[in-house]
Amino acid sequence: MLATDKLINDLNTNQKRADQLFSKFNYFVNLIKDSFTGDQPIIKNVEIKVTGTLLEVSFCEKKMFLVFKPTIPQGQSYLKGSIEVYLNEDFPNQSSIPFKKIVFEQDGETALRMPSINDPININIDTHVINLFLNLLNDLLIA
């Protein structure tokens, strides 16, 4: 059992982190929305619907759901952000298993790498977000 002072400090820190992580996710979502809908989308006919922590994507008659969830990885005490990607039509069924899980730090950095330069993908860098989303659309089509 944790001491009261440490527990209070950890909970307060995690609350601040949750807000920061959600802010990073919102940036990610808004960039996708702006880049793939509107007057000059990167790819046409991508439908995007945002509801709170859920980004629903329709493309070529297939659906994908990206869900933001703060998480504390095993053995750690502070929150990280995660985007769980679901490809099935019956989402959010209790038995739904994410197709992919993208975990990111407080600064937006993930463990994923940009293929051409081997740099970590950051969900707050425009070119990284676009590349990541294009890859997710491709995954959706071949799944």
Write the pLDDT tens digit of every residue in 14-72. Answer: 899 999 999 999 999 999 999 999 889 999 999 999 999 999 999 999 999 999 999 98
* Residue 72 CA from chain centroid, whole number: 15
In angstroms, rounded to a whole number, what is the distance separating the alpha carbons of residues 112 and 102? 8
Structural domain containing residue 97: 4-142
Taking the whole predicted model, whether its pTM rises above 0.85 is answered as yes
What integer pLDDT is reported at residue 69 of this predicted model? 94
Domain count, the chain: 1
Q: What pLDDT band is residue 93 in, cutting at 50, 70 and 90?
A: confident
| pLDDT confidence band for 1 (50 / 70 / 90) | low
CA end-to-end distance (rounded Å), the chain:
44
8 Å CB contact between 89 and 103: no
Q: What is the pLDDT of residue 90?
A: 66
Q: Is pLDDT above 80 for 121?
A: yes
- Answer yes or no: is pLDDT of 94 > 70: no
